[in-house]
A and B are shown apart, each in its own frame.
Chain A
Amino acid sequence: MVNNIVETFDLTKIYKLKGKKQEIIALNKVNLSVKEGEIFGLLGPNGAGKTTLIQILTTLRQPTSGYALIDGINVSEKPTQTKNKVALMLDNKMLYYRITGFDNLKFFCKIYNIPNYPEKILNISKEFGLEEWLNQLVENYSSGMKMKLALCRTLLLNRKVSFLDEPTLGLDVKIISFIIDKIKKSKKTIFLTSHDMSVVEKLCDRVAFIDKGKILKVGTKDDIKRMIQKEIKIKVTINGSKEQLKSELNQESFINNIINENKTLIVSLKNRDSYNDLLLILGKYPVQKVKEQELSLEDLFLKII
């Protein structure tokens, strides 16, 4: 059985606005779980509560109510033990620019008691293409190199769960694909937030949508699609005339509408349960291809939020 590494129970965080009696609910009874070895993505617009959630899970903030467990340890009650389980990479990279890349990695390895760290630093820097830059001050690094170094640090620490807040923010496509590749290959439990839907889509096993502090949906991309998508669109490619099929389908009550597009018909079903009924009808015709029209994570995001 796969253990839950991160669990939250009615986690709530309320900020009081200065000088006003108004309160901002940053997190509203958030219940989540992340399994061991899973890459979990948290998606939401600006101010949705993503960073607050990460800050609470990494002991940087206290929740107003509710609680969170990291590997079974209560984060608020036992922060020191929790700190042994987590690594954090914020979008600002958390690097000391005035010392070298090697000194940055060495410092974190030493405070996290990583054995044989010089060898490990050398290996990971080679893997990330940073070996020639290790003895340079970080202030001389490009944004992509800083992000690579920050990711090196997070992976070197080898914690039970790594929290990555916007790991690809402001980077070019080449670096993004490099970082996606490294995160995927790390085989670690990763909890990440991102605005970049394509990154989350490529990386995450499961995603959660958060807005105004509330978790709106959680699951795999397909789960969420099923949950929110009442009407589904099927693309049917047919050899020969489509008219007979079109007229037969038009008589069915489970069909919403049919769009004629070159060799294909795009059939909108009122609900997913009618999919088998459609297949029965299609069986009578020389159908070449039947494919559900894919919704991107971005489409889902816009539908949910």
Chain B
Amino acid sequence: MISKEAIKNNISQILAITEKDIKLRLRFKYKLIFSFISPIISIILPLIIMGKFFEFNDNFGPWDSNNYIVYIFLAYNIMQLQKIINRYQLQFSQEKFWQTLPGLLIAPFNTYYLLIGIFLSYLILISIPLIIFFIICFVFFPISFFTVLSIIFITLLIALIFSGLGLILGIFAISNENFSPILGFGLGLIFMASCLSFPFEIFPLFIQNIINLNPLYHIFHFYRLVWIEDNIIFSISSHLVSFLVLIGSAIILPYIGVIIFNKIYKKYGIVGY
């Protein structure tokens, strides 16, 4: 049984990591602000192209001219969350360069706290653009309070999945930087085939078959459907596979991330500083 004191200490350790990361990033604020602005450029093109598509076609699957704004704006939020993967890698590389990494890695805390600490700091930093885009989506396509809560919960789960992936990439930034770009490239391909910016129905059948194998597609698809269907119970029951992929990934990936982090760190330590 964990004592109250131990829980308090653990939370304090997590918050220490979060606070330190936020303060470090706020040292150069414009860098942070532009990291929110740049994904807007990525969604402008799909916004224009899809708008044009609906002049010829009424809908692509569940997406039509009335709700595709939700599709695109949630894509922005996913892009923001996606950056959490690189955040771990960047942060560990930076700390390796600053030579502060030994201080962090010999501190007596669990690797989960490191994962959660960085996860929280990132969520806090992106919370403003994330909320703004949620509000814009809400204005165009209002949803019930319960769906809002569900969307927040799914957003946290997606961030957790990306944190798990980020920790895996992060340890390679510490122990073997050669693997970081390889893994990054692989992940890039998976994201490309996740229908982040364009609907599934636009793609030819053989690509649709590949996309169907991509867990990220199911997760993002479910996220958007929860919004437009505005009934979480209905969404879960009608897209059970996607829901299970979401929950399963949110549980398994952080766990696998911590195991891989610990094993690789134990074997190779900090390499290249």
Contacts and interface: CB of A to CB of B under 8 A. Distances in A.
Nearest to A150: B103
Contacts of A58: 102, 106
A4 to B, nearest CB: 21
B4 interface: no
B171 to A, nearest CB: 14
Interface residues of A, number: 29
A94 B95 CA distance: 9
A98 B106 contact: no
A112 B99 CA distance: 19
Interface stretch (B13-21, B57-65, B73-81): B13-21
B9 A113 contact: yes
Which residue among A60, A62, A80, A107 has the maximum number of chain B CB atoms within 10 Å of its CB?
A: A107
A84 interface: yes
A83 B109 CA distance: 8
Contacts, number: 71
A60 B101 CA distance: 10
Nearest to A58: B106
A254 interface: no
B204 interface: no
A23 B141 CA distance: 65
Interface stretch (B153-161, B195-203, B264-272): B264-272
Considering residues B13, B100, B270, which has the most beta carbons from chain A within 10 angstroms of its beta carbon?
B100
A61 B12 contact: no
Nearest to B20: A107
Interface residues of B, number: 26
Contacts of B23: 98-99, 103
Interface string B17-30: 10110011001000
Contacts of A137: 27
A98 B27 contact: yes
A60 B271 CA distance: 10
Given A95-B100, A96-B24, A97-B98, A107 B270 contact: no
B73 to A, nearest CB: 33
Contacts of B24: 96, 98-99
B270 A113 contact: no
Interface in B81-96: none
A61 B2 CA distance: 30
The binding surface of chain A is classed by DSSP as loop
A54 to B, nearest CB: 10
B12 A110 contact: yes
Interface string A90-124: 10101111110001001110111100000000000
Given A99-B20, A99-B27, A107-B19, A112 B100 contact: no
A107 B107 CA distance: 11
A84 B100 contact: no
A55 interface: yes
A111 B109 contact: yes
B45 interface: no
Given A60-B269, A60-B270, A111-B16, A96 B100 contact: yes
A110 B98 contact: no
Contacts of B19: 103, 107
A108 B269 contact: no
25 contacts: A55-B102, A55-B269, A58-B102, A59-B105, A59-B106, A60-B106, A60-B269, A61-B269, A80-B110, A83-B106, A84-B108, A86-B106, A90-B102, A96-B24, A96-B98, A98-B23, A99-B20, A99-B24, A103-B19, A103-B23, A106-B16, A107-B19, A107-B20, A111-B17, A112-B108
Interface of A: 55, 58-62, 79-80, 83-84, 86, 88, 90, 92, 94-99, 103, 106-108, 110-113, 137
Interface of B: 9, 12-13, 15-17, 19-20, 23-24, 27, 98-100, 102-103, 105-110, 266-267, 269-270
Across the A-B interface, the 3 shortest Cβ-Cβ residue pairs: A110-B16, A83-B108, A94-B103
